[in-house]
Amino acid sequence: MISLPLTSPISPNRSLLHQTRRPNSTRRRFRIQSSSSLQDQGTAKTPPKRVVLVRHGQSTWNEEGRIQGSSDFSVLTNKGESQADISRQMLAGDSFDVCFTSPLKRSKKTAEIIWGSRESEMIFNYELREIDLYSFQGVLKKEGKEKFGEAFRKWQEDPANFSIDGHYPVRELWSRARSCWPGILAHESKSVLVVAHNAINQALVATAIGLETEYFRSLLQSNCGVSVLDFTPRADGGPPQVCLNRLNQTPNSPLSGGSSGGRKASKRIILVCHGQGDHEDSAVVNQAATNDQPMNMLGVIQSQKIAELLLDLRVSSIVCSPDTASIETAGAISRVQEAAGCLGVDSVPRYVKTKQMNELNVESVLDKSNKDNDVIASIQPGWLSQLDEEAVSALWNRSGKAWESLLDELSDEESNPGDTMVVVGPPIAHISLIAQCLNLTKEGLGLFHLDAGSISVIDFPDGPSRKGVIRCTNYTAHLGRWCIPITRPA
């Protein structure tokens, strides 16, 4: 697991509460909780905790393309109930101690489907409702521009500074998300389920890892998408270290259709973590291998599963790290892509441009660290502090060069709209690229976790020259019986 370093990459004073407050200890299966009830109560040390966030399933207003906000008129469609049931199966192995949920019908129903027959308590918290959008609520998205003109354009293009009816909805949302965390973290539980909505779940993730309102729509939340945050207490009693273990694990493939922030992606980068190698302990998936070894049998299986997942995409290019496991994984993807063309109507083989990029090789950087490489290799909480400052800076500078090179290639005049670039490398290289995409500082390297064989998807709705949207991170469902379960203990 990877954890938040002592200094937040964006806003250290806002990354998470510096103390947690214990809610009323009275227990019922259903009860209503207001965040204000957490005030003026004693502090409590936070135990190790995993928080699993789920967005509700497809609703009638989702299907109609209508702006919902915090209104409570829409309900789950049949598809939405099916999505919730798939999420229930994904989370069946987790012994959740509590479920916090928005009381709005679409979220409440999703929570009840996922919660099933569990006897543990379910807490309804109105602060977990969807973003308040005032006059926009109920309007069809396709009619928004015609009805609201400049205000609707502002909502689409600059939501952080968008105002309506005397309110700044996104700013209010961020404040509300922060107010939810004390009750969630103070609950005497190790595993917490939170079922809510698209915008509030974005805000919960963002405020946990220290991102401000400008990151609204940068962290996608699909219907019934599952995101996981791990909180590890510090020995000095300070605020917990925070790790986004995964973002937006969806019931369906993250590569299928859909939009990012209401817009179709013009270009896409898929980050593929190479298959597991012989040097890696199967009990603890390595993040930063410092030995260049080929994949073991599990790694070979993982690479084939990745290639199958990408089969329906037309991959325009593959860029890989020069380490052996990355080259082998890239080769598996390339072979399946090129063979797939022969299965089409025209039976014309695809040609996939493949090249190596030295900037994706982190081995030489990490080997220069004077700290204990065994600790670094297994990536335990606080791993970033185990690296010398020089090594962290070198890693960060190298990833910055890699990110710029990838964007330049994706922006090349010869590339076509809809092109997909696959980037294969070790997990730590991709963690660095995600942090670069979000324009974090080098301390942001401690915010994310990736497993061998996982994929992460970055969309560019406005092209590679503009801000990327993280569609998902650490997606592993394609690995089938070999996947890393969402319910794996923190």
Q: Is the pLDDT of residue 2 over 70?
A: no
Q: What is the pLDDT of residues 24-69, one digit of tens each?
A: 333 334 444 444 333 333 344 556 899 999 999 999 999 999 999 9
- 473 found inside a domain: yes
Predicted confidence band at 419 (pLDDT cuts at 50, 70, 90)?
confident
Bridge partners (DSSP) listed for residue 420: 268, 315
Do residue 245 and residue 276 come from a single domain? no
Predicted confidence band at 11 (pLDDT cuts at 50, 70, 90)?
very low
Do residue 311 and residue 402 come from a single domain? yes
Predicted confidence band at 351 (pLDDT cuts at 50, 70, 90)?
confident
What does each C-alpha distance from 46 to 57, 102, 381 come to in angstroms? 31, 23, 15
Do residue 201 and residue 275 come from a single domain? no
Rounded CA separation 405/121 (Å): 50
For residue 408, how far is the Cα from the chain centroid?
24
For residue 225, how far is the Cα from the chain centroid?
9
Least confident of 85-89, 415-419, 428-432: 415-419
Predicted confidence band at 289 (pLDDT cuts at 50, 70, 90)?
very low
Which of 191, 220, 249 finishes a domain?
249
Least confident of 24-33, 231-240, 270-279, 453-462: 24-33
Domain enclosing residue 103, as ranges: 30-249
Do residue 318 and residue 451 come from a single domain? yes
Average pLDDT, the chain: 84
Helix residue ranges per DSSP H, 26-129: 60-64, 78-90, 105-115
CATH (domain of 49): 3.40.50.1240
Do residue 221 and residue 338 come from a single domain? no
- 448 found inside a domain: yes
155 by DSSP, 3-state: which?
helix
According to DSSP, the β-strands at 353-356 and 267-273 are: unpaired
Do residue 340 and residue 434 come from a single domain? yes
Q: Which of 108, 164, 167, 107 is nearest to 135 (CA)?
A: 164
- 104 found inside a domain: yes
Do residue 293 and residue 245 come from a single domain? no
Do residue 245 and residue 273 come from a single domain? no
Tell me the catalytic residues. 56, 130
Pick left, alpha or beta for residue 65 (phi over 0 → left; psi -120 to 50 → alpha; otherwise beta).
Answer: left
Q: Is the pLDDT of residue 88 over 70?
A: yes
Q: Is the pLDDT of residue 451 over 80?
A: yes
Per-residue model confidence (pLDDT) at position 366: 76
- 9 found inside a domain: no
Query: Mean pLDDT: which of 43-57, 69-83, 439-453 is highest?
Result: 69-83
Per-residue model confidence (pLDDT) at position 486: 78
Rounded CA separation 379/387 (Å): 11
Q: What is the pLDDT of residues 109-165, one digit of tens each?
A: 999 999 999 988 899 999 999 999 999 999 999 999 899 999 999 999 999 999 999
Do residue 71 and residue 189 come from a single domain? yes
Q: Is the pLDDT of residue 329 over 90?
A: yes
What does each C-alpha distance from 452 to 275, 323, 326, 447 come to in angstroms? 5, 14, 11, 17
- Only one residue has tokens 């006897």, namely 119
Do residue 157 and residue 279 come from a single domain? no
- 25 found inside a domain: no
Which of 249, 281, 297 finishes a domain?
249
Q: Work out the average pLDDT over 405-429.
A: 86
Predicted confidence band at 284 (pLDDT cuts at 50, 70, 90)?
very low
Do residue 185 and residue 310 come from a single domain? no
Least confident of 405-414, 433-442, 480-489: 480-489
Q: What is the pLDDT of residues 376-413, one digit of tens each?
A: 444 566 677 778 889 899 999 999 999 999 999 998 85
CB 203 within 8 A of CB 215: no
DSSP string, 409-474: HHT-TT--TT-EEEEEE-HHHHHHHHHHHTT--GGGGGGB---TT-EEEEEETT-TTS--EEEEEE
Structural domain tally of the chain?
2
- 254 found inside a domain: no
Do residue 242 and residue 324 come from a single domain? no
- 490 found inside a domain: no
Which of 204, 221, 249 finishes a domain?
249
Per-residue model confidence (pLDDT) at position 279: 57
Q: Which of 23, 15, 27 is nearest to 40 (CA)?
A: 23
Please state the length of the chain: 490
Per-residue model confidence (pLDDT) at position 32: 44
- 15 found inside a domain: no
Q: Is the pLDDT of residue 90 over 60?
A: yes
CB 299 within 8 A of CB 403: no
110 by DSSP, 3-state: which?
helix
The percentage of the chain sitting over the pLDDT mark of 70, rounded to a whole number, equals 79
Per-residue model confidence (pLDDT) at position 256: 78
